[in-house]
Structure 1
Amino acid sequence: MRLVTFNEYLEYAKSCSEIVIEDTKIHVGKPHRIEAYQPEEFSLETTTVWSFPDRGDWATHRGDYRGNWSPRVARNLILRYSKPGELVLDQMCGGGTTLVECKLLGRNAIGVDINYEACILALDRLNFNCNQPSSDWKEPDIKVYHGDARNLDLIEDESVDLIATHPPYANIISYSKQKKIEGDLSQVYNLEEYLRGMREVAEESFRDLKPGRFCAVLVGDTRKHR
């Protein structure tokens, strides 16, 4: 793991105003002006089947990072399984959906991604002033690291209050399509190899998580034969 600082993000943006995820170019480097800090209508899900009217586009949430999870999922998990000031981990943070929700909801957070450009994008999505109407909201401590979810060596044992993450569905979307990244699970074409990698992720997650707390992982079906 290596910390990617906000200043490093700004320096990156000076020389390169866009990043490429899969085949999509996404502009970075400018502070975001926020029109809405939360969804217009929101209530916690109370059943085992969650259904939303849309994916959600408040704050800096966008659908341009293909395959990222809906901020409505992240918001439900964070509100239900953590408290303000607690620590949330997303060790496959991608474009930073979980981290943005942590900032809005006052949770400290650690985001990790094996793709450096995803780390830059996550910091870009966090580049906004959070003028919250709630008087008890406090600016959380959110850090982004370039690293592998199977080796979170800078995170102490049993230090995380909630893990909320959305790993790649094997090789359905190749997030490092433009350049091969060693260890990228979205580049694994063998299902057994992918499952071995995810087992290592699970073992590392168990080490990081406080006893009795929750780990939420959103995964999709993988078909071996079509």
Structure 2
Amino acid sequence: MARYNDLDPEKWKEYDDINTDSLWIIDKRDNSGAHTGDYHGNFVPQIPHQLFTRYTKKGDWILDPFMGSGTSLIEAQRMGRNSIGIELQPEVARESYDRIQTEHRDDCSVKVIPGDSRTINMDRIMETIGINKLQFVIMHPPYWDIIKFSDNKNDLSNTESLEEFLDSFEEVIDNSTKYLEKNRYCACVIGDKYANSQVVPLGFHCMNKFIEKGFLLKAILVKNFGETKGKTNQQGIWRYRAITNDFYIFNIQRN
């Protein structure tokens, strides 16, 4: 079996900090150093940390086509991985780059590129950097229109229908995975949407887009995150809403 990480199989019992179950319970977001929770919609650093530990080695190249505040690039840099982040909003890209550089390391490269991940010239990016392949792609796209990130018409959070959102996401898959090394991994971190008294399973829809492209599904993981701003100190009212409106509370943990 090919080795895609720096873990020693002989020491597997010692890796008690590595998640191997499909339920990931995360009590609190890592806000250390360059990791901040200020950007609306950024994700938990522990997620890319776990994924990079399992599926990359030091020196590998990681692409994040939905860079946002740079969470995955910060984590990649901490772990000695090279990374490329693409961000639609130039001002967000600049702020993220400055934040990432506060933890600069000489032994790995970080490339932040403003642009639309659907259409950006990946051939030119790869040629400029001087690499032929990527070893991992991590995606944390907008959860359709749950959070509006900008007024840019090319922003996936501004798509008017589920079909338009998925079509745009499919374009990102095509463009961002074209240089993914054979038999290497891609991860998509996304939540579902509840609207009009029904669940819109964005995760399954996006997963199917990958399968249609010939990707093999290796796992579906569920994150249970205790520190959610929308439910902080409001467990009672959310329980009431769940009972009276016939739904189950998404992603809440009581300590």
Retained in 2: the 8 A contact 1:90–1:165?
yes
Higher helix share: 2
1:149-188 to 2 correspondence within 5 Å? 149-153=117-121, 154-156=124-126, 159-176=133-150, 180-188=151-159
Structure label with greater radius of gyration: 2
Pick from 107, 125, 134 the counterpart of residue 81 of structure 2.
107
- C-alpha distance in structure 2 between counterparts of 1:223 and 1:199, whole Å: 22
Pick from 140, 155, 158 the counterpart of residue 108 of structure 2.
140
Which of structures 1 and 2 has the larger relative contact order (alpha carbons within 8 angstroms, sep 6+)? 1
Letter in 2 for 1:149: S
- C-alpha distance in structure 2 between counterparts of 1:151 and 1:116, whole Å: 15
Task: Tell me which residue corresponds to 1:206.
Answer: 177
Fraction of identical pairs, as percent: 34
CA-to-aligned-CA distance 1:66-110 (integer Å, 9 cap, x gap): 111100001111111110011000011000000101111111110
How many residues align structurally?
Answer: 176
Retained in 2: the 8 A contact 1:103–1:142?
yes
Pick from 88, 96, 99 the counterpart of residue 125 of structure 1.
99
Retained in 2: the 8 A contact 1:158–1:207?
no
Retained in 2: the 8 A contact 1:158–1:209?
no
Residue 129 of structure 1, CA deviation:
4.2
Tell which deviates more after alignment, 155-164 or 210-219.
Answer: 155-164
Retained in 1: the 8 A contact 2:143–2:190?
yes
Residues 208 and 155 of structure 1: CA distance in aligned 2, closer, same or farther (over 3 Å): farther
- C-alpha distance in structure 2 between counterparts of 1:146 and 1:125, whole Å: 15
- C-alpha distance in structure 2 between counterparts of 1:218 and 1:158, whole Å: 25
Residues 170 and 65 of structure 1: CA distance in aligned 2, closer, same or farther (over 3 Å): same
- C-alpha distance in structure 1 between counterparts of 2:25 and 2:132, whole Å: 32
Letter in 1 for 2:187: A
Task: Tell me which residue corresponds to 1:197.
Answer: 168
Helix, strand or coil for the counterpart of 2:86? strand
Retained in 2: the 8 A contact 1:109–1:142?
yes
Consecutive aligned runs of 4 or more in structure 1 exceeding 6 Å deviation: none
Letter in 2 for 1:215: C
CA-to-aligned-CA distance 1:158-204 (integer Å, 9 cap, x gap): 6110011210011111111xxx2131111113111001101111122
Task: Tell me which residue corresponds to 2:62.
Answer: 88
Retained in 1: the 8 A contact 2:137–2:177?
no
Unaligned runs of 5+ in 1: 1-41, 132-137
- C-alpha distance in structure 2 between counterparts of 1:81 and 1:152, whole Å: 25
Q: TM-score, normalised by structure 1?
A: 0.73
Residue 128 of structure 1, CA deviation:
1.4
- C-alpha distance in structure 2 between counterparts of 1:186 and 1:115, whole Å: 13
| CA RMSD across the alignment | 1.8
Residues 130 and 204 of structure 1: CA distance in aligned 2, closer, same or farther (over 3 Å): closer
Residue 127 of structure 1, CA deviation:
2.5
